[in-house]
Every structure is written in structure tokens, then in C-alpha cells.
Amino acid sequence: MSATAPRKRRRRFKKQASDRPVVVPFTPDNDAAVCYVRQSHFTDESMSSDVQAQDTHRWTNAYGVPVAATVEDLHVSGDLEPHKRSGLKLWLSDAPPQPWKTLVVSKLDRLVRNVMDALNLLEWLRARGKRLIAIAEGIDSSNSMSEFLITLIAAFARMERERMRERFKDSKAKLKEAGRWAGEGHIYGTKPVQLPGGGWILGLDQYAVKILHKLSRMARTGKSLTEMCDWLADNKIVTPRDRQLQLAAERRGEDPATVDLKGYEWGTSVLRRLLENPDLVEFGIFEPAEQAEISARLEEKARRKTRGSNQPYPFSGVLVCADCLEPLWHRIAHSKRTRTDGTTVEYHNEYWHCPNYEHGSSMRADVIEPLAEQAFYKIFAMVPVRERIVLPPTTHENEIAKLEREHAKLMSGVARAKSPEDRRRIVDDGDKILADIDTLRALPADPGGVQWVSTDRTWQQELVGMSPEDRRLRWLELGFAFAVQKRPDGTWSAGWRLPDGWQEAMPEIAEWAERIADTGATIEITDLLDWPTGGPTESKR
């Protein structure tokens, strides 16, 4: 008799439990209502906070539900989740200020504009035996159809929100195209100005323009961003964001001194973005060459800070490598040595070297700096000082941009003209502006340049009494540099580099013409100061 086949065991599947919280049925016992009011930035009178509060209180009175609290979230977008709103989040918690069971809103879009936010809130309410009442839509979340209706209405609210956003963007684009201000934030130095016929354009804020001109002078004279921020803080100059709050108060007819400012502080990154913003040139606050000089100064400061030597020394930026013409780097060397008798001696030496570490060896600062100073006085002591005035190049872009904004502002009044004569007059004025624009575009571009203006001082008189830092800035301002290098074979190369346009600035140095190098910009002084054969001596310590 054959053995019976083993019985196959049935595979048992483990039933997976749902992670959703259990629904707690709503009961009217000890019911209390939270009347919620939300008002966004652009809410009309039909959805004002007073109207919403009246609607919700009327419902609670009609159904005999006591009001636990009336919660308001003003100037809050409907896209923000209900649990993150400052007023409502205190009541959407397991420890509210007072017990409640019913959340009442005048319309569902006052509470949510997103399907996921609506479903998450509905699940939270059901898990705690609470309900939602939307008066305009007739929704009561305690019945079975509520979830379907809330999902459908929230989807339509989201669609309407996107349509509102598109209309708002299109309106802003049309206003900007017409040269008008659409209510957005504006750059520091400008302010909204109301037109006589309605609407707004951006004009100049003279208070901020004066601050920008002061910052421009500071940046072009070598001040760092940190020093400029300290100056702004010491003089209690408000930041761009706080300045916009003050201007908004002025438009409302309020005193700017009474505005509750946010207390923002000036930062180096914010200040640099402001000074390099091209809109300052477009509005005519800065000239193109002026902003280019500011950017170059700030970039040089940033490069020096990156290599850890932003602290200027008496010859920082003045000493350059004779090969690559890059500014030499400064290095401080500390060392301690113990003598045979047990005493310790500390050595402190300062050096200058090529930033590429390729062109020559390091040079002692106490040797090179007196050498550069001595050579400058020997060559330029009796040379008259001539101030350099930079004439910026221009393509008349600023004038053309101003006329284009004026033309756009003028043409915006055509549709509002009350008579054909007024319309014809506006069009004629616009044609004149267009003719002026064409004339400016036909003019040749001015390349600009440098002009030297004579003074009654010599360089010896100019530098006497100056601090080392003021002397360094004066040299850099006019374009002087001292190119020096110690070659591997022990020989030296040194000379003062002349500023651009030196033939006009210093015709008196013709006697040094035979020493001017082939580059036409450096006066060689290697054999000028009675050096020993190997170059300047470096004393041993």
C-alpha cells in the first residue's frame, strides 16, 4: 500500500492594518465653535474680516452653538497650511486654549486652497470627534458627503488661485512694459510716485540717492564693505527693506518716524549687490564708469580677503612683481631661538614675495620699502602734482533710457484722453520724444579718457605730513606702482611704474627718458641709488 501524499499547507496571509487614525463620530455634547477669519493681502470688502466674523457668528447664533473664540489670520496667504498659521495653529492642537468641537468658516477657501491640505485637516478633525462647517458651500463634515464636496471645492479653489496668480503676473508685466510701478519691491534709491491721472511710476528717493553717492565715494577711495557697513550703522541709516516700510507709510499719509521697523542690519553681501545693481545706472543714480570702478575696487578687496591679507600695509598694492606685475603678497615670519646660555631670542621679519611663487625669492620689507620711498623722492620730488580726472565713456544709454520711460508714461495717457484734441496732443509729444531718441542713437559714442589738471604743489609738498596709509592710497589713486624682483642669481630688478598718460601728467621727467624701459612705463633705478654690486643689502638679525 503506497504512502499517502503529504497535505499541502495553506499559505496564510497576514492582514495589514491601516495606519489611518480611527474616526471618532461627532456628538453635539459640550459643543463649542471656533470662528475662523482669514484675510489675504488683496481681499476686497466682500471678504473683509468684519464680514467673515458676522457670517460665522450668525451661524452659531442660528444653531445655538456657543463661540469659544474668534480667530483671525490677517495678511495670510491661502496657500499656507492651516497648521502653520500663527492664529489657527494654537487651536489645531491637542491642547487648545479652550475645548471646542466645531470649526466654522464663511467660505471654504478662507480655510484651505489645496486639496491635500483640505484632506489632511479633515482627517485630523475626524480623528478627534470634531467637525468643519463651511457656510457658503453648506458643508458639514459630520455627514458622509462632506469629504467628496470638500475635495471638489478645494480643487476648484486651487484652480481659481492659479488663475488669479496668472492674471496678477500678466497685469504686472503690462504695467512694467508701460513704465509703471506694479506694487512690487523696488531698488534702494527709488520710490513710487503717483501720477496725476492715476497709477504709479518709480522716481528717485533723494534721501537714499545721497546715501548711495556717499557709498560710491567710499568704495572708490578704497574703503571696504565692512567699513561702509559700520558707517551706515553709526549714522543709523535704515536698510533698504526698512526704507520701503517708511515709504509705504508716507504713501498712506502716516509719519515715517512712527513706523515699526523690522530692525534689519546692513550686511556686506547685501551692500555689494546693491552697489553693483545695474538698475542704479538705468535710473541715472550711477554712471556706467563709476559703477565699473566700484566693482573693480570691491573685487580687488575680495581677492585680498581670499588670500588672507585684506589688512593693508604701507605698501600694499604699490609693490608689484617685475615679471607678472601682480601685487606682491606680504608675509610675517616669527621665530624663536635658544642660545647656548639658555636665553630665548624672538625674531620678527616681514617679507614681500610674488603671489605666484615663481618670479624670484622673498624680499625683506625693511629693505624694499625704504628703497621704494627713496627712489620716489629722488625722481618725483620736484615734479608738480597733476590730478587725474576720468571722463567716462558713454553711448547715451542713460539719456535714451530716461526718454523711453518718459515716452511710455506719456503714451499710457492716450487711452484716458477725454477728447480727440488731447489724444492728438499726446501723440505729437510722443513723436517728439521718439525723434530725440533717434537723434541720440545717431550720435557717435564718446570713448571717454583721462584728463590731467595741474596744481600748485610738488610731490614732495604733497606727501609731507601724510600718514603711510594716506600716502599709499594717493599712489594707488594716480596709478603709481613699484616693480621689484630679486632674481635667483642674486641680481635685482627695480623701478617705478608710471601711471597711464604719464607723458601728459609728468612731462618734467624727460630727463629720465634714457632709464625708461622698453615697456614705456617703468623707470629703472637698479644703478640709481648707489647699491652694492649684488643689490640692496639685507642686514642679518
Domain boundaries, given as residue ranges, for the chain = 33-163, 190-306, 319-390+450-524, 396-445
540 pLDDT band, cuts 50/70/90, is very low
* 489-531: pLDDT as tens digits: 777 788 888 776 677 767 777 666 555 654 446 666 655 555 4
* 177-200: pLDDT as tens digits: 666 777 778 889 888 887 776 777
* 313-369: pLDDT as tens digits: 888 888 888 888 888 888 888 778 888 888 888 888 888 888 877 788 888 888 888
Q: Check if the beta carbon of residue 347 is closer than 8 Å to that of residue 335.
A: yes
Q: pLDDT at residue 308 above 50?
A: no
* 393-403: pLDDT as tens digits: 666 776 777 78
Give the integer Cα–Cα distance in Å for 206 and 210: 6
Top CATH class of 33-163 equals: alpha beta
Task: Say which residue, 424 or 60, is predicted with more confidence.
Answer: 60
Please name the residue that has the C-alpha cell 525723434.
435
Q: Check if the beta carbon of residue 282 is closer than 8 Å to that of residue 189.
A: no
Per cent of the chain over pLDDT 90 is: 12
Amino acid (1-letter code) at residue 172: K
| Res 509: pLDDT | 72
Cell of 52: 467673515
Give the integer Cα–Cα distance in Å for 328 and 352: 6
Average pLDDT over residues 273-285: 88
With CA atoms as reference, report the closest residue to 462 among 451, 475, 452.
Answer: 475
Give the 3-state secondary structure of residue 490: coil
Task: Say which residue, 14 or 480, is predicted with more confidence.
Answer: 480
Task: Say which residue, 195 or 225, is predicted with more confidence.
Answer: 225
**Mean pLDDT, rounded, of the chain:** 80
Average pLDDT over residues 462-473: 85
Give the integer Cα–Cα distance in Å for 494 and 368: 10
Give the integer Cα–Cα distance in Å for 230 and 209: 19
Give the integer Cα–Cα distance in Å for 478 and 303: 21
* 129-154: pLDDT as tens digits: 999 999 988 888 888 777 777 777 77
Give the integer Cα–Cα distance in Å for 183 and 494: 60
Please name the residue that has the C-alpha cell 543714480.
285
Q: pLDDT at residue 34 above 90?
A: yes
Give the integer Cα–Cα distance in Å for 46 and 27: 33
Task: Say which residue, 155 or 472, is predicted with more confidence.
Answer: 472
106 pLDDT band, cuts 50/70/90, is very high
| Res 66: pLDDT | 93
